[in-house]
Chain A
């Protein structure tokens, strides 16, 4: 295992890393129900911009650091029934709730009472999953066990090429959003402002 810190130091870093994550989610405006639901209605693209930029930037850094042996990959197993059924359920829940687990925690902390109530729902969902886990693994997880595979492994296309492809796709999508997309109205108040007038 390669990690610069472990044990109690890692636990302290967990709180610090978590704090940065929570603060970034809040400053990104995704502690707001409206921002998240409007993404699924294609009225606000904040969520897509944040996630896709994170994926491209993080993917590029990993593509550089991993061959140098500086990071371990933690690829989750492609257990297809779990991933597909889970994602279908998750998508319905995310629109009903207006949050995903990370943004729900951050939204609860920034005053969203319905996010807090939904947190209780998440606890109930966790209990229900743990109790039904033996049945689910036995009855549903019977096919599609592809293991911890990555796109470079199944395609033969190396990771840097995938990241480049994602960057190009992101660039085109962002260009379309910025030129033809909806004008978003809701934003976090920003502390520092640009002097010069932006377009529009």
Chain B
């Protein structure tokens, strides 16, 4: 089945972007909460650290006790909702699929699963460390902060993009 969807497909990113922008305003209007994701993951990391480091260590830590308290609150429930919403969207649109090594990665680095998983782990480590250092990620700074015209968020957005482009060029554009 090959239906021509070109005009809707071309409009899709703009429509989705507009909807995300409106969502970011509705959450401010209704709940007084900007969009954000990385705080919730830092909160989750505190919960995961409890069995490893001990409850006292986590409770005594300046970051987990003040900035990212491990508990169910607006931020962590928003994270849970994001997972549920994406799962529902994937199932309803029949686009749920298991993926281990994406094609762009495979063309450059081969189909080794451990290599891809190691890169994903290292990348995940870096984005959360970087996001907490900057006090926001592509959601909190990149969308919610930039629409409020925050100096911090525009700085983050531009520096992150330049860093990402440089990394991508080094990883994917250099000769093998």
Q: Is B127 in contact with A87, judged by CB distance below 8 angstroms? A: no
User: Beyond A18-B78, A93-B126, A125-B126, is A79–B160 a contact (Cβ under 8 Å)?
Assistant: no
Q: Is A83 in contact with B34, judged by CB distance below 8 angstroms? A: no
Instruction: Determine the chain B residues whose CB is within 8 A of the CB of A86 once the complex forms.
Output: 129-135, 156
B68-84 with Cβ < 8 A to chain A: 68, 72-75, 77-84
Interface membership of A193, Cβ < 8 A: yes
Instruction: Determine the chain A residues whose CB is within 8 A of the CB of B105 once the complex forms.
Output: 33, 37, 98
Instruction: Determine the chain A residues whose CB is within 8 A of the CB of B125 once the complex forms.
Output: 93, 121-122, 124-125, 128
Q: Is B102 in contact with A33, judged by CB distance below 8 angstroms? A: yes
A24, A72, A136 interface centre (most CB from chain B within 10 Å)? A24
Interface membership of B155, Cβ < 8 A: yes
Instruction: Report how far A24 CA is from B22 CA in the complex, Å.
Output: 12
Q: Give, as a whole number of angstroms, the nearest-CB distance from A156 to chain B.
A: 13
Q: Is A26 in contact with B4, judged by CB distance below 8 angstroms? A: no
Interface membership of B124, Cβ < 8 A: yes
Instruction: Determine the chain A residues whose CB is within 8 A of the CB of B157 once the complex forms.
Output: 87
Instruction: Determine the chain A residues whose CB is within 8 A of the CB of B61 once the complex forms.
Output: 130-131, 133
Selected from A41, A80, A97, A154, the residue in CB contact (under 8 A) with B120 is: A97
Q: Is A23 in contact with B127, judged by CB distance below 8 angstroms? A: no
Q: Interface digits, A105-134 against B, CB 8 Å rule (1 contact, 0 not)? A: 111111111110111111111111111011
A interface, over-half SS: helix
Instruction: Determine the chain B residues whose CB is within 8 A of the CB of A122 once the complex forms.
Output: 41, 45, 124-125, 127-128
User: Beyond A54-B143, A113-B100, is A40–B130 a contact (Cβ under 8 Å)?
Assistant: no
B59-102 with Cβ < 8 A to chain A: 61-64, 67-68, 72-75, 77-90, 93-102
Instruction: Determine the chain A residues whose CB is within 8 A of the CB of B23 once the complex forms.
Output: 17, 20-21, 24
Is the interface on chain A under 10, 10 to 19, 20 to 34, or 35 or more residues? 35 or more
Q: Interface digits, A23-60 against B, CB 8 Å rule (1 contact, 0 not)? A: 11111110111100110111001100111111111110
Instruction: Determine the chain B residues whose CB is within 8 A of the CB of A99 once the complex forms.
Output: 123-124, 127
Selected from A11, A78, A114, the residue in CB contact (under 8 A) with B150 is: A78
Q: Is A126 in contact with B44, judged by CB distance below 8 angstroms? A: yes
Q: Give, as a whole number of angstroms, the nearest-CB distance from B151 to chain A.
A: 4
Q: Is A11 in contact with B29, judged by CB distance below 8 angstroms? A: no
Instruction: Determine the chain B residues whose CB is within 8 A of the CB of A126 once the complex forms.
Output: 41-42, 44-46, 68, 128-129, 132
Q: Give, as a whole number of angstroms, the nearest-CB distance from B62 to chain A.
A: 6
Q: Give, as a whole number of angstroms, the nearest-CB distance from B155 to chain A.
A: 5
Selected from A17, A73, A84, A196, the residue in CB contact (under 8 A) with B78 is: A17
Instruction: Determine the chain B residues whose CB is within 8 A of the CB of A118 once the complex forms.
Output: 120-121, 123-124
Instruction: Determine the chain B residues whose CB is within 8 A of the CB of A128 once the complex forms.
Output: 125, 129
Q: Is B64 in contact with A190, judged by CB distance below 8 angstroms? A: no
A/B interface sample: 23 pairs, CB < 8 A: A23-B89, A25-B86, A26-B90, A28-B13, A28-B16, A33-B104, A37-B168, A50-B14, A54-B143, A74-B28, A75-B150, A76-B153, A83-B155, A88-B163, A89-B126, A91-B159, A95-B164, A96-B119, A105-B79, A111-B90, A122-B128, A126-B128, A198-B4
Binding site for A on B (CB under 8 A): 3-10, 12-14, 16-35, 37-38, 41-42, 44-46, 48-49, 52-53, 61-64, 67-68, 72-75, 77-90, 93-105, 116-117, 119-169, 171-173
Binding site for B on A (CB under 8 A): 1-6, 10-11, 13-29, 31-34, 37-38, 40-42, 45-46, 49-59, 61-62, 65, 70-80, 82-115, 117-131, 133-134, 136, 146, 148-152, 154, 159, 162-163, 174, 178, 187-194, 196-200
